[in-house]
């Protein structure tokens, strides 16, 4: 069954990804980790609290992947569809967490 952006979830190695593109990117990042190019790879594992919205609700951003590359903290998103609220979350993330680099992989 397709998700809200008409993308079918994809299961690979027992892990459920939101899309096949996300699963493919995970394989690339796993290879990089094995080669030592990156460390501390997490998939949907880190939640960033960006503050409260105008209704008092906590705004949380969970990137697809997080890892450390050459001493740089990377939060990575795999995007096949432009999501309406993503630019706002991305800008807020960059403001609240300037020590992180947000990398968007467009597929």
For residue 92, the domain's CATH number is 3.40.1350.10
Task: Please check the confidence at residue 2 and state whether its pLDDT lies above 80.
Answer: no
Q: How many domains does the chain have?
A: 1
Residue 4 lies in a domain: no
Kindly state the tokens that stand for 20: 């096949």
Reported as a single tens digit per residue, the pLDDT across 7-63 is 677 777 788 887 888 888 999 999 999 999 999 999 988 999 998 888 888 989 999
d(CA 10, CA 18): 6
Element (H, E) at 100: strand 100-106
Which range of residues forms the domain containing residue 48? 10-106
Query: What one-character-per-residue DSSP string does 33-82 give?
Result: HHHTSEEEEEES---EEEEE-TTSPEEEE--SEEEEETTEEEEEEEESS-
Token duo for residue 84:
């309406």
Q: Is the dihedral of CA 59, 60, 61, 64 positive or negative?
A: negative
Residue 3, domain member (yes or no): no
Q: For residues 63 and 89, which has the higher predicted lDDT (pLDDT)?
A: 63
Domain presence at residue 16: yes
pTM above 0.85, yes or no: no
């Amino acid at each position: 069954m397709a998700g809200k952006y008409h993308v079918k979830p994809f299961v690979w190695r027992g892990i459920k990804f939101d899309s096949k593109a996300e699963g493919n990117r995970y394989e690339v990042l796993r290879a990089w980790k094995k080669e030592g190019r990156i460390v501390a790879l997490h998939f949907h594992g880190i939640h960033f609290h960006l503050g409260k919205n105008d209704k008092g609700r906590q705004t949380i951003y969970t990137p697809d992947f997080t890892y450390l590359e050459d001493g740089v903290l990377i939060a990575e998103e795999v995007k096949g569809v432009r999501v309406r609220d993503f630019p706002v979350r991305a800008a807020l993330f960059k403001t609240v967490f300037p020590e992180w680099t947000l990398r968007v992989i467009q597929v």
